[in-house]
Structure 1
Amino acid sequence: MTTPAHRESCSVIVVGAGLAGLAAASAALRSNASAVVLLERELKPGGNSIKASSGINGAPTRFQTQAHTDDAFFTDTVKSAGKRMRSSATERNQRIGLIELLTNNSLAAINFLADDIGVDLSVVTLLGGHSVARTHRGAGNTPPGADIVLKLLRSLQDDSRFELRTGCEVIKLLQSAQSVESDGPPTIAGVEILSDNKLTSLAGPVIFATGGFAGDTDNLLAKYRPDLAGLPSTNEPRPGMHGLLVDVGAHLVDMESVQIHPTGFVDPHSQFSTLKFLAAEVLRGEGGILLYNGRRFVNEVDTREHSQVLGL
């Protein structure tokens, strides 16, 4: 049984406490939001981002020593997109715009993490699909995902305008009354959350940053990529939340474009567990090779799409 919903008001609501949600909360505060509430359905923040162990990409940055051109990151990304770039002119231009947004802002992202948040990103490695080394991580023992997430979270918690709520599951996106009555696109006015069997509604603009659905192997993954149903994953086995977006009229795109990581560790005492531990790409970037019957059979730092074609 649940109790009737209690309504609260706030300035900005961010759903999902992985790196995307933490970065969104930080951006909102730097844009002078009066308050930010970050909602996470798990008991701990960090999502799957905290597991990242290879680094974060950016170019051109002061940490790179290898000669490079300013557009190398952009060119590499377009190439790695592979067949998804062979679409209509409109779709291609949309993808180009998104790739430009990603790559052109990567220097600012690296500088923000290094200078404002204090993350060590001094080690740069060449990884899959790179023409020049551009994956940044620290020189210490803390994996880059954990280092970035924990330091960014600490900076947020130093701001009195920020509030983190864990164990809160968003079950509905709320529309404004005017939006419901009109025939136009929906205007999202808040969320309804479930926590400790209590329903609460929060009013305010919503940033939805819940990540992907790689751990939802028997539901969303099976729906959009039935060939991958039940695939073991390093992602936590959590249901995807995309249905909440569809319920308010969102159109999902590229749901079948699921990227498979080539390597993972298998516990010999639990070989058939669906939750695996990542054998990070940095292992291959630093010289690890893949063997089959004693023979090397692939360029270990080729694009991920090539690895999938080989069935890795």
Structure 2
Amino acid sequence: MVEIERHDYDVVVIGAGGAGLRAAIETRSQGLRTAVVCKSLFGKAHTVMAEGGIAASMGNVNSRDNWQVHFRDTMRGGKFLNNWRMAELHAKEAPDRVWELETYGALFDRTEDGRISQRNFGGHEYPRLAHVGDRTGLELIRTLQQKIVSLQQEDKAEFGDYEARLKVFQECTVTELLKESGRIAGAFGYWRESGRFVQFRAPAVVLATGGIGKSFKVTSNSWEYTGDGHALALRAGASLINMEFVQFHPTGMVWPPSVKGILVTESVRGDGGVLRNSEGSRFMFDYIPEVFKDNYADSEEEADRWYGDPDSNRRPPELLPRDEVARAINSEVKEGRGSEHGGVFLDVSSRLSAEEITRRLPSMHHQFKELADVDITAEPMEVGPTCHYVMGGVEVEPDTAQSRVPGLFAAGEVAGGMHGSNRLGGNSLSDLLVFGRRAGLGATKYLEGLESRPAVRESEVDDAAQRAQIPFEPGDGAENPYGLHSELQQVMNDLVGIIRKGEEMQTALEKLRELKRRAKNLAVEGNRQFNPGWHLALDLSNMLLVSECVAAAAVLRTESRGGHTRDDHPGMDPRWRGVVLSCSLFDGGVEVTEQRQPPMRDDLLSLFKVEELRKYFPEDELP
């Protein structure tokens, strides 16, 4: 029998990014004993890489902004496949979550009259992103981390125990969720340094594990983003929705190769940066979709005038939603008008002075100077699309963030529905805060209704430990996890990337299933003590499962919408109006089914013109 360390809590939060920490703050504030389990070091979650800001309709820069406009922008950005209730809650509650952060100690940039400053971002009608230079995610994590520490200090003063009701377990990976009679009963994992196994006994689990980007070759995502939460939820019996929608951020670094994919914040364009091709043309004017014609400038003169008149609603086309900008860049490169290294040029030096650039965009200035020997105060950046965010995730109930598995909750990027087919920049950070809090409240209410705590049989815990050790006992035809991971990334990049074709994705599915078969023979050497090869072998099972969901859903959706672009089905198809795809596990494989979105309330429908709604809704759902 393998030795297993055990801990008892009311709630286990898996992930210590913005969503996980906000959920933990909420459950601890409700009096619940809470464990936060994070894969990396506390304070190093991928949220720190978010640069542009937190979208919230506070109206500090333009008083005409309000939650209804934010809701409308979010629905338009997601091409109306958003869960409208999630989008409504998000738009209504985001300002309170930002002001709350300020009470925790966050230091936002200010307007001249002392209010929290807000900047422009793609897809947002008004300046809406509360920011801290271009390091907003770092400030968000720093603030929530300090709040966690302050709550632990309160516990020390009250109980004489620094971690009485809230403890962080860092460098710990969860490999399985444990259940009893269909209900969550805890989680099983291991310490990354020692390889020792650990069981967390708890009747509620909040998934806050982020995204899936490490399944792709070119990505802005950190090493942690291996789809752990998505896969854990699937195996526990939850469903995933909208997995075909993967956002390729339009501007990642393209040179040198060692930094390809590293994010170039949308703040550069929000603060006046323009995109040009190798011929010097500001090409985005050629890619404004018909539905956005009224809101975006169609000439350089009009676009330049907008910077001096932010009350104008004719924004520069560089501020179109991310999916539109990414496809435009991809088209320019494909047609031979790209930069030397396969991207386009992003220039902010012609708009802002060197002093303003270093003040507003300090991280970008440092990043390009140190990594690419480019001074963005004097020369343009080379940028191109990079896998950035998955709109799909665990299907949850909007108000409580609970999945269809009793006791299992999800918030942040691992949860699906909020962003529809395409996320607007800045909505991710407010999403973390709004639904992190709601997941914490949902878990609290769930526990209040429990008559007894579920308990897992000892044999199931032993089985979880045995499954985790399989890579140390390979059979014939041993496979190297690093080689298999590289093959997976190449398949997803080449066949399920920014532009897709049905035939190629069918090939991808065949390759993915073959990789899944080979992954049963993954082999690692040595023992469990700090063994990166073993870590990757376990992560690969998650990446392969989630990649199959992405490809399987993408094959079925025979249209182009948001983050899903089909070369063989280039337009939106009326048949797919209001239809989302749901992935679940069935008989050992991924099953994809169609389901219709719940009808939107009339008061929310009235925020849009009927002509616009006709493009996205079935006739029987129109007012």
**What amino acid maps onto 1:287 in structure 2?**
G
Q: Who wins on radius of gyration, i.e. which is larger?
A: 2
Paired residues of 1:66 and 1:132 also in contact (CA < 8 A): no
Greater helix share, structure number: 2
Paired residues of 2:119 and 2:130 also in contact (CA < 8 A): yes
**CA 1:73 to 1:154, structure 2 compared with 1: closer, same or farther past 3 Å?**
same
Secondary structure at the counterpart of residue 263 of structure 1:
strand
Q: Counterparts of 1:147-186 in structure 2 under 5 Å? A: 147-160=139-152, 161-176=165-180, 179=181, 186=182
What is the Cα deviation at residue 66 of structure 1? 4.3
Secondary structure at the counterpart of residue 64 of structure 2:
coil
Q: Distance in 2 between matches of 1:81 and 1:253?
A: 14
Residue 52 of structure 2 is matched in structure 1 by: 54
Q: Residue deviations 1:179-212, cap 9 Å, x none? A: 1xxxxxx211111120121111111121111011
Residue 37 of structure 1 is matched in structure 2 by: 35
TM-score by length of 2: 0.42
1:78 aligns with 2:72: no
**CA 1:112 to 1:62, structure 2 compared with 1: closer, same or farther past 3 Å?**
farther
Uncovered stretches (5+) of structure 1, i.e. residues with no partner: 86-91, 180-185, 218-229
Aligned residues: 274
Paired residues of 2:253 and 2:259 also in contact (CA < 8 A): no
Residue 290 of structure 2 is matched in structure 1 by: none
Secondary structure at the counterpart of residue 74 of structure 2:
helix
Q: Residue deviations 1:241-299, cap 9 Å, x none? A: 1221111111111111111111122343xx2555x321100000000000012010111
**What amino acid maps onto 2:78 in structure 1?**
A
Residue 189 of structure 2 is matched in structure 1 by: 193
**What amino acid maps onto 1:132 in structure 2?**
Y
Paired residues of 1:39 and 1:165 also in contact (CA < 8 A): yes
**What amino acid maps onto 1:300 in structure 2?**
E
What is the Cα deviation at residue 164 of structure 1? 1.2
1:285 aligns with 2:270: yes
Secondary structure at the counterpart of residue 259 of structure 1:
strand
**CA 1:167 to 1:306, structure 2 compared with 1: closer, same or farther past 3 Å?**
same
Q: Distance in 2 between matches of 1:149 and 1:119?
A: 12
Residue 257 of structure 1 is matched in structure 2 by: 245
Q: Distance in 2 between matches of 1:15 and 1:69?
A: 33
Aligned-residue Cα RMSD (Å) equals 2.0
Q: Residue deviations 1:21-64, cap 9 Å, x none? A: 1111111122222x2211011234342110111010101x2633
Paired residues of 2:52 and 2:134 also in contact (CA < 8 A): no
Q: Residue deviations 1:54-112, cap 9 Å, x none? A: 010101x2633443244110010011012x53xxxxxx7xx111111211111111111
**CA 1:123 to 1:215, structure 2 compared with 1: closer, same or farther past 3 Å?**
farther
Q: Distance in 1 between matches of 2:282 and 2:106?
A: 40
**What amino acid maps onto 1:247 in structure 2?**
R
Q: Distance in 2 between matches of 1:117 and 1:207?
A: 25
Residue 137 of structure 1 is matched in structure 2 by: 131
Residue 182 of structure 1 is matched in structure 2 by: none
Q: Which moved more, 1:22-31 or 1:201-210?
A: 22-31
Residue 304 of structure 1 is matched in structure 2 by: 322
**CA 1:52 to 1:303, structure 2 compared with 1: closer, same or farther past 3 Å?**
same
Secondary structure at the counterpart of residue 105 of structure 1:
helix
Secondary structure at the counterpart of residue 241 of structure 2:
coil
Q: Distance in 2 between matches of 1:142 and 1:135?
A: 11
Q: Residue deviations 1:150-196, cap 9 Å, x none? A: 111011012223211111000110102xx1xxxxxx21111112012
Identity %, equivalent residues: 26
TM-score by length of 1: 0.82
Paired residues of 1:157 and 1:163 also in contact (CA < 8 A): no
Picking from 82, 91, 108, the partner of 1:120 is: 108
Paired residues of 2:52 and 2:266 also in contact (CA < 8 A): yes
Residue 616 of structure 2 is matched in structure 1 by: none
**CA 1:210 to 1:162, structure 2 compared with 1: closer, same or farther past 3 Å?**
same
Paired residues of 1:3 and 1:198 also in contact (CA < 8 A): no
Residue 183 of structure 1 is matched in structure 2 by: none
Paired residues of 1:54 and 1:282 also in contact (CA < 8 A): yes
Q: Distance in 2 between matches of 1:206 and 1:55?
A: 28
Paired residues of 1:42 and 1:167 also in contact (CA < 8 A): yes
Paired residues of 1:120 and 1:137 also in contact (CA < 8 A): yes
Paired residues of 2:250 and 2:323 also in contact (CA < 8 A): no
What is the Cα deviation at residue 142 of structure 1? 7.0
**CA 1:163 to 1:267, structure 2 compared with 1: closer, same or farther past 3 Å?**
farther
What is the Cα deviation at residue 8 of structure 1? 1.7
Residue 220 of structure 1 is matched in structure 2 by: none
What is the Cα deviation at residue 12 of structure 1? 1.6
**What amino acid maps onto 2:69 in structure 1?**
A
Residue 227 of structure 1 is matched in structure 2 by: none
**What amino acid maps onto 1:303 in structure 2?**
P
Paired residues of 1:119 and 1:148 also in contact (CA < 8 A): no
What is the Cα deviation at residue 120 of structure 1? 1.7
